[in-house]
Chain A
Amino acid sequence: MQDIKTENRLNDGIETAEEFEVRSLDAMCINESHLTHKWYHNLKYMVVGIAFGIVFIKAEIISWFRIQEMFRFQSFHMFGVIGSAVMVGVISVLLIKKMNIKTIYGEVIEFHPKQFNKGQIYGGLLFGFGWAITGACPGPLFALVGSGATVIAVTLLSAIAGTWTYGYMREKLPH
Chain B
Amino acid sequence: MLDILKNPWPWYVAGPLIGLTVPVLLIIGNKAFGISSSLRHICAACIPANIPFFKYEWKKEIWNLFFVGGILLGGFLAMSLLANPNPVEIHPNLASELSTYGITNFESMVPVDVFNWSTLLTLKGFIIMVFGGFLIGFGTRYAGGCTSGHAIMGLSTLQWPSLIATCCFMVGGIIMANWILPVILSL
Contact = CB atoms under 8 A, between A and B. Distances in A.
A129 B28 contact: no
Contact size range, B: 35 or more
Main secondary structure of the interface of A (DSSP, over half): helix
Contacts of B67: 45-46, 48-49, 52
A160 B141 CA distance: 10
A160 B42 CA distance: 7
Interface residues of A, number: 133
Interface in B134-187: 134-162, 164-178, 180-181, 184
A34 B180 CA distance: 47
B165 to A, nearest CB: 4
A84 B16 CA distance: 6
Contact of A80 (B12, B49, B64, B159): B12
A56 B15 contact: no
Interface string A91-108: 011011000010111010
A41, A81, A150, A165 — most chain B CB neighbours (10 Å): A81
A144 B109 CA distance: 8
B94 A81 contact: no
Contact of B75 (A56, A70, A75): A56
Contact of B173 (A85, A113, A128): A128
Interface of B: 5, 8-40, 42-43, 47, 49, 51-57, 60-64, 66-79, 82, 84, 88, 90-91, 93-94, 98, 106, 108-111, 115-117, 120, 127-162, 164-178, 180-181, 184
B11 A56 contact: no
Contacts of A135: 110
Contact of A134 (B12, B21, B129): B129
A86 B70 CA distance: 22
Nearest to B53: A167
Contacts of A62: 75, 109
A1 interface: no
A170 interface: yes
B156 A93 contact: yes
Contacts of A84: 11-12, 15-16, 19
Contacts of B90: 65, 69
6 contacts: A22-B56, A27-B37, A49-B73, A52-B74, A109-B26, A133-B184
A65 B88 contact: yes
A134 B134 CA distance: 10
A162 B82 contact: no
B141 A123 contact: yes
A77 B79 CA distance: 20
Contacts of B165: 120-121, 123-124
